[in-house]
Amino acid sequence: MPTFDAQVSSVAEYVETLRALGRPTREFALPASVDGLREGLPVRVGAGANPKIILRGDTFVELGSPDAGSCAVVLWTETPSLIRDGTVTLIGPDVREAAGSSLPFGQIVLVGGTDLSAEEHQAIGQAQYVADQIEGYMVRSSSRNIWSRVSNEAATRGFSFETLGRSLMLIYKSSLPKVQAMEIVFVTSSRDDVLRLNDIARAVSDISMEIVKEHWKARGFDLECDLDCRSCHDKDVCDDVRKMIAARARKKNKAAAGQA
């Protein structure tokens, strides 16, 4: 099964690059346990914690809109030692420093667990879409990346990226017991900084698709057709079409040469 270990290293390099470029960087060390994570949260976390949707007029800050830029990556590894458990890194301004604005948003979630396997892959990916689980925080229903809102009320109560990181860790660790370690990186410094993540995101997406295909195959379902030309019943037709195209091109070139 393909793994994300190389991309985990790429994320560390990415953070170091931005640090070296002088981007303001903060680190928060959070407890490892679910109980420890729950303590000190200024908002409720869990199913139904955010029963209402956050309307435009109730929004304190918007994260990752198409104009501002967004990229979200979730990586998991069977080697938890690759991950600094409980660490939240914020590169760029925090929520309270961005009242009324629309921030670019990069979110990298790194998950480690010795028993993690393809079985958990989709659940790990889907858990970042928190739906109604964080009070005052709503991830919008966009199919790519994360575009989200923090409500005025949550901001008043002190909602920050430390809060968001703590909440995500709590959700992951309580819903996926095989998760042993978690690290999260948030990037809000600039659109360019966020979009630099796209290379990692593309590689992750390709690997992810392979894992999904293998996982469904193991359950007896083929996600895609066999597209190998050598086994296709229409190979002769395609070969003939190619020959005809080539013949026409030769004829056209010959005519053009004749005119010249």
Per CB under 8 A, the list member of 6, 21, 29, 53 interacting with other proteins is 53
Q: Which strands sit side by side in the sheet containing 70-77, from one edge to the other?
A: 25-29, 87-91, 181-187, 105-112, 70-77
Per CB under 8 A, the list member of 3, 25, 59, 122 interacting with other proteins is 122
Between 2 and 40, whose beta carbon lies closer to other proteins?
2
Between 40 and 66, whose beta carbon lies closer to other proteins?
66
Between 39 and 222, whose beta carbon lies closer to other proteins?
222
| Residue whose token pair is 């009324």 | 100
Our finding on whether 207 is near other proteins (CB under 8 A) is no
Instruction: Write down the least CB distance from residue 253 to other proteins, Å.
Output: 20
The CA–CA distances, whole Å, from 249 to 182, 240, 253 equal 58, 14, 6
Between 143 and 231, whose beta carbon lies closer to other proteins?
143
Task: State the Cα–Cα distance between residues 7 and 21, nearest whole angstrom.
Answer: 21
Our finding on whether 238 is near other proteins (CB under 8 A) is no
Our finding on whether 59 is near other proteins (CB under 8 A) is no
- Strand duo 105-112 + 148-151: pairing: unpaired
Report the length, in residues, of the chain.
260
**Nearest CA-CA partner of 104 in 136, 76, 69:** 69
Task: State the Cα–Cα distance between residues 224 and 104, nearest whole angstrom.
Answer: 35
Instruction: Write down the least CB distance from residue 242 to other proteins, Å.
Output: 14
Our finding on whether 217 is near other proteins (CB under 8 A) is no
Neighbours of 63 (CB within 10 A): 27
Per CB under 8 A, the list member of 28, 42, 93, 132 interacting with other proteins is 132
Our finding on whether 218 is near other proteins (CB under 8 A) is no
Q: Which stretch binds other proteins (CB under 8 A): 158-166, 217-225, 233-241, 244-252?
A: 217-225
Where in 66-105 is the site for other proteins (CB under 8 A)?
A: 66
Our finding on whether 141 is near other proteins (CB under 8 A) is yes
Per CB under 8 A, the list member of 140, 157, 191, 196 interacting with other proteins is 140
Our finding on whether 191 is near other proteins (CB under 8 A) is no
Task: State the Cα–Cα distance between residues 80 and 87, nearest whole angstrom.
Answer: 13
DSSP 174: H
Task: State the Cα–Cα distance between residues 183 and 201, nearest whole angstrom.
Answer: 17
| Residue whose token pair is 């083929």 | 222
Q: Which stretch binds other proteins (CB under 8 A): 35-43, 180-188, 205-213, 249-257?
A: 205-213
Helix (H, G, I), strand (E, B) or coil at 108: strand
Q: Which residues bind other proteins (CB under 8 A)?
A: 51-53, 55-56, 66, 122, 126, 129, 131-132, 138, 140-144, 202, 206, 209, 212-213, 216, 219, 221-225, 227
